[in-house]
Amino acid sequence: MPLTIYRRHSADCKVFDLNLSPKAIRFYQDCSCRIWISGSTDTQRLPRQALRTRDWKSAEAEVQALTAGGKDATVHGLMLQECIQKFLDAHQANVGTKALGQHKLVLDRLAAFAQARNKFFLRDLDTDLYEDFKTYGLVGLKSTSKSTLVAKLKFFLREAYRRGWTLEAYAEKVKSTRAVYTQKQPYTEEEVSAILEQAAKLDGGTSGYATNAQTFRLLLDLMLETGVRVGDAIRYDPRRCTKSEHLWVYSFRPGKQRKAEKAKQHEVFLSERLKLSIDGCDWFSKHLPFIYRDLDDSTAMEAAVYERMQAIGERCGVADCRPHRLRDTFAVRLLLKGIALEDVSRLLGHASIAVTERYYAAWVPSRKLRLEGLLAKTVMNSGGY
């Protein structure tokens, strides 16, 4: 039944004095009794309900708007904003907070870009608009960030096609953006010494890492000696260490993992000196040496480490002083000592050796020498090729 408006008259309404048929009474306009609506549009059924207006012409206008909106939805499909929200709601169970934030960022930018061009329905967007969005809607981003966001956009488009929100597989038509990765820059040995020296001199403050300089320095030592990320270093739990033949083995679940994946364990190695130093230092909390607030606030503690290192860098003249460069320094030190790239990749916990090579290719001169040495040994043993 199409949308219909009608009056529900009060008992003292004058319409009952006019000797009209029941149908004429329902559609009588010349009174101020409540107006009700019921029926369906092309896309939805409205339960019987009172309108907020008692004016018949206003009620007719509302019916026209609802009918037109239903026809728009039939022709154009779902609104872009509705698709975005449905996607984010469904996807949040599969990814972490950071990844979900990246999805939201690129999709919010897409919505604003499309609306500025009077495009409000997802099916109104085409390949040309998506390519223009990549060109003009993501201006100012580094190639790595742009590549990540375009990948998130294409994931959304695949889901949109799968769920029938779009009628074309735009994810296959929109080109990916190539990321240009800059080579990692480790600290020099002089910079490492200066940073650790200044870290041990932290003084002041009644909370956080500044209250315990020696333990904070050990946190930096842990990142430098094992290559773990700052978030994993903060969560370091000595109870998960076991003594091996030469070193201590620390097994843990890295914080940087896909939410939907099966939890993976990673192992790193601590020297006897570092293990015993951490065991014997003043801990920031009863059970964990580097946690000074609730574990749920680990992001805030990561930021605190970053801020402390920035301040240390200013004091000792080290530019770009931040925690992740300790991980880079760990990797480069090993590569320069001739450790195979494959082994360094495993120690860093990278998903593949390709990731390691992408960032540390410039620091693998030893790889060439190692291959040359192996080949030379083969030639000498066999008397030639």
> Which residues of the chain fall short of a pLDDT of 70?
1, 42-44, 68-76, 181-183, 204-206, 257-263, 365-374, 378-385
pLDDT of residue 383: 57
What residues contact residue 362 under an 8 Å CB cut-off, 6+ apart?
Answer: 183
CA distance 29 to 13: 12
CA 150, CA 107: separation in Å to the nearest integer? Answer: 10
* Exposed / middle / buried, residue 385 (Cβ in 10 Å: 0-12, 13-18, 19+): exposed
Distance CA 54, CA 37 (A): 12
For 209-254, the pLDDT digits (tens) are 989 999 999 999 999 999 999 999 999 999 999 999 999 999 999 9
* pLDDT score at 42: 61
- Count of helices and strands (H, E) across the chain: 16, 6
pLDDT score recorded for residue 264: 83
Q: What is the DSSP letter of 297?
A: G
Q: What is the pLDDT of residue 69?
A: 61
Please give the pLDDT value at position 48. 87
pLDDT in tens, 350-365: 989 998 988 888 887 6
* pTM for the full predicted model: 0.61
Write the DSSP assignment of 179-220 as a string of letters: P-PPPP-PPPHHHHHHHHHHHTT----SSSGGG-HHHHHHHH
Contacts 24+ apart (CB under 8 A), 200-203: 202/308, 202/312
What is residue 376's predicted lDDT score, i.e. its pLDDT? 74
> For 315, left (φ over 0), alpha (ψ -120 to 50), or beta?
alpha
Alpha-carbon distance 122 to 170, whole Å? 11
Helix axes 213-226, 298-316, angle to 10 degrees: 100
Q: What is the pLDDT of residue 323?
A: 95
User: What is the reported pLDDT for 260?
Assistant: 47
DSSP 81-122: HHHHHHHHHHHTTTS-HHHHHHHHHHHHHHHHHHHTTT--BG
Domains of the chain: 4-76 (no CATH), 80-173 (1.10.150.130), 189-371 (1.10.443.10)
Instruction: Tokens for 324, please give them.
Output: 């992740």
Residue 71's alpha-carbon distances to 58, 68, 125, 219, in angstroms, are 20, 5, 18, 62
Are 171 and 154 in contact by the 8 Å Cβ rule? The answer is yes
